[in-house]
């Protein structure tokens, strides 16, 4: 089995190791445009020696933002602002960079977590969320606007437009967000999808719009550029019809035939009734099952915090890669420390080589400073 510090190929892209920084919303954009915060935040993570850094959930339209502060890529201003960030990252770090494209659906128009995270009414500066069906996320919230077929065509075009902007910006890969109760997940789950047309009802129909979006994006970007998907493998809701692991496996089989390059395996988010057994590595078994049944390249996520834990997931064949989020916020040099603990090697800027404690030079390979 490969190890945590072995390279891995995703279509035309080769990652130097199997450690990924998960996309983590920062709620700090200005009308969708990246700010100085994004430059500081991503620059810190880009220097950490990871295999791939994934930029946070990036809305493909204004109404597709989770919060008013969410990053977006729907207009030229957004593209120019993100270009400033990308240009700096490319100058200082060799890290491979992906972007996660998203539409929040009925979970849009929310306050930032530190402001409570609840739905912002239109009268308070929010907007009417859009969804597969006029079914609210919480019983006490107003119902979202049910999307028409013409709306679906427009949103699919928004994903394609954002993907093309990502290509122009020099991103190495794209991940589509179909997890955590956002729009593509809302189509998959019968909890949120009550449609009676060809986009609702049967599993095939509920899969239809997410698959159309994937195919449209896959066609719009260069053939060598990998495109992955983050999915909630289960809704964790047992007392009503919901999205399950078995259905996820069927979705992955269908998408793999269309050119899916990896699956980022998360769970939950579509219903406040979810019952999640949270603990270290609590979602890893989902990635393992999907990998076993479909052969797709998988990323395991969810309370993976320790170096040996991450290494065991990869070497044990439970997933091909691991993605960490909060652990990297706490320790942007997590990959350095993991390499030091496990006798691995990662990339590091030469300006920082002398920072390593005595006896840890092998973390960056053989180092010779050549100083007088």
| Cα–Cα distance list, 61 to 57, 65, 102, 103, 315 (Å) | 12, 7, 9, 7, 40
- Which residue, among 215, 216, 193, 217, has the nearest Cα to 205 in the 3D structure? 193
Q: What DSSP assignment string belongs to 139-151? A: TTSPPPEEPPHHH
Structure tokens at 176: 């589509």
Known active-site residue 182: yes
List C-alpha distances in Å: 183 to 61, 66, 189: 12, 11, 10
Q: What's the rounded Cα separation, in Å, for the pair 88 and 56?
A: 17
Q: CB neighbours of 196 closer than 8 A, spacing ≥ 6?
A: none
Name residues whose C-beta falls within 8 Å of residue 90's C-beta, 6 or more positions apart in sequence: 170
Q: Which two tokens stand for residue 315?
A: 């070497």
Between CA 177 and CA 154 the distance in angstroms is 17
- Neighbouring residues of 108: CB distance < 8 A, sequence distance ≥ 6: 63, 64, 65, 66, 127, 129, 130
Q: Closest Cα partner for 189 from 112, 120, 111, 105?
A: 105
Angle between helices 203-220 and 149-169 (to 10 degrees): 30
The 3-state secondary structure of 126-141, one letter per residue: CCCCEECCCCCCCCCC
Question: Which CA distances in Å does 371 have to 43, 101, 357?
Answer: 28, 46, 18
Active-site hit among 27, 182, 199, 330: 182
Which residues, 6+ apart, have CB-to-CB distance to 290 below 8 Å?
A: 233, 245, 248, 249, 252, 263, 265, 296, 298
- Cβ atoms of 263 and 301 within 8 Å: the answer is no
The catalytic residue positions are 182
């Amino acid at each position: 089995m490969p190890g945590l510090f072995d390279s891995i190929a995703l279509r035309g892209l080769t990652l130097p190791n199997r450690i990924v920084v998960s996309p983590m919303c920062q709620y700090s954009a200005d009308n969708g445009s990246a700010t100085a915060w994004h430059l500081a935040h991503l620059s810190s993570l880009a220097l950490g020696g990871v295999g791939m850094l994934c930029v946070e959930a990036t809305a493909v339209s204004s109404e597709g933002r989770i919060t008013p502060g969410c990053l977006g890529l729907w207009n030229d201003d957004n593209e120019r602002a993100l270009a400033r960030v990308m240009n700096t990252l490319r100058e200082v770090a060799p890290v491979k960079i992906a972007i996660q494209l998203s539409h929040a659906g009925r979970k849009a128009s929310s306050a930032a977590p530190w402001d409570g995270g609840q739905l912002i009414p239109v009268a308070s500066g929010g907007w009417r969320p859009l969804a597969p069906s006029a079914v609210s996320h919480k019983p006490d919230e107003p119902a979202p606007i049910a999307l028409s077929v013409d709306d679906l065509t427009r949103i699919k075009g928004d994903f394609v437009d954002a993907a093309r902007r990502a290509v122009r910006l020099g991103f190495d890969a794209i991940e589509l967000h179909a997890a955590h109760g956002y729009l593509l997940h809302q189509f998959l789950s019968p909890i949120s999808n009550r449609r009676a047309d060809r986009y609702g009802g049967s599993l095939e129909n509920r899969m239809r719009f997410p698959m159309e979006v994937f195919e449209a994006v896959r066609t719009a970007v260069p053939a060598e550029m990998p495109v992955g998907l983050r999915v909630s493998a289960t809704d964790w809701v047992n007392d009503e019809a919901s999205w399950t692991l078995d259905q996820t496996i069927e979705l992955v089989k269908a998408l793999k035939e269309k050119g899916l390059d990896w699956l980022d395996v998360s769970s939950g988010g579509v219903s406040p009734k979810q019952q999640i057994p949270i603990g270290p590595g609590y979602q890893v078994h989902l990635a393992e099952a999907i990998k076993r049944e479909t052969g797709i390249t998988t990323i395991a996520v969810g309370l993976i915090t320790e170096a040996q834990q991450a290494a065991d997931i990869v070497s044990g064949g439970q997933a091909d890669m691991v993605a960490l989020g909060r652990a990297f916020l706490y320790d942007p040099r997590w990959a350095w420390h993991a390499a030091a603990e496990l006798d691995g090697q990662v990339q590091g800027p030469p300006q920082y080589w002398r920072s390593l404690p005595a006896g840890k030079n092998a973390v960056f390979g053989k180092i010779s400073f050549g100083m007088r």
